[in-house]
Structure 1
């Protein structure tokens, strides 16, 4: 059986259990409402959910620009230059190990409780994996490529855009996938903590009044956002497949065994 069919069967089994377990009384409806009830609530109150979804998507889009742009540029600087790498890479690696949710009160103190604090928090949340993956990918590039580009008179900007980043694409895309996922998490978590709009706010409000169907409707929307982002990244990876082996030393072919 193909992996795709196995995944489809797993998803189908999860959906069936989601509907059957609360219907059978094995799981209280307060803890897990049936899938049909969740979808019915989502459809009935769609204007409210759509407005919240638009807020969350706009914040995610802006935060992705800052997280990805800052992560790529800083990662290229840290990975491409020995001085900044020795100075900054241990610092960034240590900061990545810190639970960044502790920074959200700082963000609200600096930017208020509006969209700015959520965007700033999510940008920082997604910045570190993108930056570290970019720096790691650049360090795997064949030095002969950089030497050749330098000997041909390429400027630092040209070497970065035309040699370094294309050659590091496979590792960079892995970091972008993780960083983008963390941006989505960061926005939703920030909306759940202090916000007056967005999917996270709706989930928190429904939880306080024990409205489980609306809680799971919000969770379902967040899941759809994450799936959509993952599919977009898979499309980008397919488009960049030609670069998958660029910039890396190729292993020498095995010598022929004399007969």
Structure 2
């Protein structure tokens, strides 16, 4: 194990311990009215994980999130490469992307419900629209920052657009593109959960919204703990990979 990996693990452990201590102190101050202690939450989470209903909701969320993420990556990267390589298209469409990105996405959800109904398709679409634009914008900037000599070399070698993207642009711009994918991952997860919270009968977001309505603090804390654990672990892994890619480029 390298020194950088050991340092990253040490930092992660310290952060987890700090969060647990802060959580316990906050619980002592607030009490059972709005919180549960870390130990109580972990115990209830273990009990929740032993129910088949929970795994059904988890599978629904995982399926919607994975499909939404794949769509966001495919459309985001395609749009980013297209606008990054075409100056005219970028000047016309990039301001539009930024304008759409500034719109609160929740205002678009009624339209998506009319288009896709109350099924999984609406959740997938809502999750995807959260991730597409950040991935596209990061990809645009990554392509622009590629040294022009690399692109000229590809032209001299007679590479077609797809070959140039695969063999030159992607390797050269990968660290910045991966940073966009990391942000797109988080936003797509948020969008998928929001879609489940507002108009769905299945999924982790639905369970969380139902628990809020019933003031089921145990379930709220358990689901929040699981979501935080998943998002934090995934973000940490993606951040570590991103730093390794940046180090290799340097």
* TM-score normalised per structure 2: 0.89
**2:19 — aligned with what?**
14
- Equivalent in 167, 170, 178 of residue 172 of structure 2: 167
Which entry has the higher C-alpha Rg, 1 or 2? 1
- 2:168, 2:68 → 1: CA distance? 27
- Aligned in 2, Cα 1:192/1:149: closer, same or farther, shift over 3 Å? same
Once the two structures are superposed, residues 58-94 of structure 1 have per-residue CA deviations (whole angstroms, 9 ceiling, x without a partner) of 1111111000111001100001111211111111111
Give the aligned length.
242
TM alignment of 1:92-111, pairs within 5 A = 92-111=97-116
- 2:216, 2:32 → 1: CA distance? 10
**1:141 — aligned with what?**
146
**2:35 — aligned with what?**
32
**1:151 — aligned with what?**
156
Residue ranges of structure 1 left out of the alignment (5+ in a row)? 246-259
Q: CA deviation at 1:169?
A: 0.9
Larger relative helix fraction: 2
- Aligned in 2, Cα 1:89/1:12: closer, same or farther, shift over 3 Å? same
**1:116 — aligned with what?**
121
- 2:228, 2:186 → 1: CA distance? 11
Q: Does 2:135 align with 1:130? A: yes
- 2:10, 2:165 → 1: CA distance? 41
| Deviates further, 186-195 or 131-140 | 186-195
- 2:45, 2:54 → 1: CA distance? 7
- 1:158, 1:243 → 2: CA distance? 22
On the 8 A contact 1:75/1:130 being kept in 2, the answer is yes
**1:81 — aligned with what?**
86
- 1:93, 1:17 → 2: CA distance? 37
Residue ranges of structure 2 left out of the alignment (5+ in a row)? 1-6
**2:4 — aligned with what?**
none
**1:58 — aligned with what?**
63
- Aligned in 2, Cα 1:73/1:6: closer, same or farther, shift over 3 Å? closer
**1:219 — aligned with what?**
224
- 2:54, 2:8 → 1: CA distance? 34
* TM-score normalised per structure 1: 0.86
